[in-house]
C-alpha cells in the first residue's frame, strides 16, 4: 500500500501509464481492465470504486479500433444490429449484479470463465471443423452466438477483465469469419457493452474522477498504438496474443 502514500501527481502518472498499457491490450486481445483495476487498488482506491472507475476509464481504448476495423463494421452491420439488444440487456444485468449483489458473487467462478473461454478459443479451429456440417446461418449457431454474447455482456457489466477473451471464444465458435474480422467485431461489441456500463456507473456515482481522467488519456493513446500494432501482426500472432492474454488473466485471477 506504499503507492497510496504517493502525491496526487505521481498517482495520476502511474494511472496514466497503466491506461496506456491497458489501451494496447484492449486493442490487440482485450484484458486491459486486468491492468487498470489492480493499479487503482494499489493506489488506495476502494475495490468497488476502483471497479467502477476502471470500467469508465477504459472506454476510450476502443476508439482507436473503430476506424481500423471499419471493414468488419460495414460488412457485418446487420449482425452487429442483431447483437445490440443482447449486449445492452446483458450489460445492464451485469451492472445490477455488481451494484446490488455481494462482492464475492462471481469471485470464485471468474477465473474459470476466462480459463474455459481461453481454451475454447484455442481449440476453436478444431471445434469449427467438427461443426462444419452446420452452415454459417444455421439456427443453432445463431442461438449460440446471441446467447453467448448476452452472457459475455453480463460478465462485462459486472467485472469486464477478460471480456474480449470471452467474446472472441464465442464468435470463433459460431461465426465463419477470419481472425481479424472477429477482432473487429470484438472491439465494437466490447465498446457497446462498456459504454452501457459506463453510463450506468456515471449515473450511480462513486467514481474516482482523477483516476477516470488519467485512464481516459492513457487508454485513448494506448488504443491507437495497439490498433496500429495489430494491423502489422499476422493472424497467427493475433491468435497467439489472445491466448497468452487469456492464460495470464486466468492465472492472475485464480491466484488473487
pLDDT score recorded for residue 200: 92
Q: How far apart are CA 161 and CA 145, in angstroms?
A: 20
> Around Cβ 126, how many Cβ atoms within 10 Å?
9
Write out pLDDT tens, residues 213-255.
999 999 999 988 988 887 777 777 777 777 777 777 677 767 7
Average pLDDT over residues 3-9: 74
User: Over the chain, what is the mean pLDDT?
Assistant: 81
Quick check: 212 pLDDT over 60?
Answer: yes
> Around Cβ 34, how many Cβ atoms within 10 Å?
23
Average pLDDT over residues 76-98: 91
What's the CA angle centered on 118, arms 112 and 122, to 5 degrees?
A: 145
pLDDT score recorded for residue 67: 67
Task: Write down the domain spans for the chain.
Answer: 2-255
Q: How far apart are CA 143 and CA 149, in angstroms?
A: 10
Q: How confident is the model at residue 133 (pLDDT cuts 50, 70, 90)?
A: low
| Rg of the chain on CA atoms, in Å | 17
Average pLDDT over residues 63-90: 82
Distinct helix (H) and strand (E) counts, the chain: 12, 0
Q: How far apart are CA 248 and CA 164, in angstroms?
A: 13
Cell matching residue 189? 461489441
Cell matching residue 91? 450489460
Residues counted in the chain: 256
Which residue has cell 496506456?
Answer: 20
pLDDT score recorded for residue 112: 76
Closest CA to 106 of 253, 240, 3: 253
Please give the DSSP secondary-structure letter assigned to residue 60. G
Q: How confident is the model at residue 108 (pLDDT cuts 50, 70, 90)?
A: low
Amino acid at each position: 500500500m506504499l503507492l497510496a502514500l504517493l502525491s496526487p501527481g505521481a498517482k495520476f502518472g502511474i494511472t496514466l501509464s497503466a491506461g496506456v498499457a491497458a489501451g494496447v491490450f484492449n486493442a490487440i486481445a482485450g484484458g486491459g481492465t486486468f491492468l487498470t483495476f489492480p493499479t487503482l487498488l494499489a493506489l488506495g482506491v476502494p475495490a468497488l470504486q476502483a471497479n467502477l472507475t476502471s470500467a469508465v476509464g477504459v472506454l476510450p481504448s476502443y476508439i482507436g479500433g473503430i476506424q481500423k476495423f471499419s471493414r468488419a463494421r460495414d460488412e457485418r452491420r446487420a449482425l452487429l444490429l442483431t447483437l445490440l439488444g443482447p449486449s445492452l440487456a446483458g450489460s445492464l444485468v451485469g451492472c445490477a449484479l455488481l451494484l446490488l449483489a455481494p462482492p464475492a458473487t462471481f469471485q470464485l467462478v471468474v477465473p474459470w470463465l476466462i480459463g474455459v473461454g481461453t481454451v475454447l478459443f484455442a481449440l476453436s479451429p478444431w471445434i469449427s471443423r467438427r461443426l462444419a456440417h452446420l452452415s454459417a446461418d444455421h439456427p443453432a449457431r445463431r442461438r449460440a452466438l446471441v446467447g453467448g454474447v448476452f452472457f459475455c455482456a453480463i460478465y462485462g457489466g459486472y467485472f469486464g477483465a477478460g471480456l474480449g477473451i470471452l467474446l472472441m471464444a464465442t464468435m470463433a465458435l459460431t461465426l465463419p469469419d477470419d481472425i481479424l474480422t472477429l477482432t473487429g467485431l470484438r472491439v465494437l461489441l466490447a465498446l457497446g457493452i462498456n459504454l452501457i456500463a459506463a453510463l450506468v456507473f456515471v449515473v450511480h456515482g462513486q467514481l474516482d474522477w482523477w483516476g477516470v481522467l488519467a485512464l481516459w488519456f492513457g487508454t485513448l493513446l494506448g488504443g491507437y498504438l495497439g490498433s496500429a500494432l495489430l494491423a502489422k501482426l499476422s493472424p497467427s500472432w493475433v491468435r497467439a496474443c489472445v491466448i497468452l492474454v487469456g492464460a495470464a488473466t486466468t492465472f492472475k485471477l485464480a491466484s488473487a
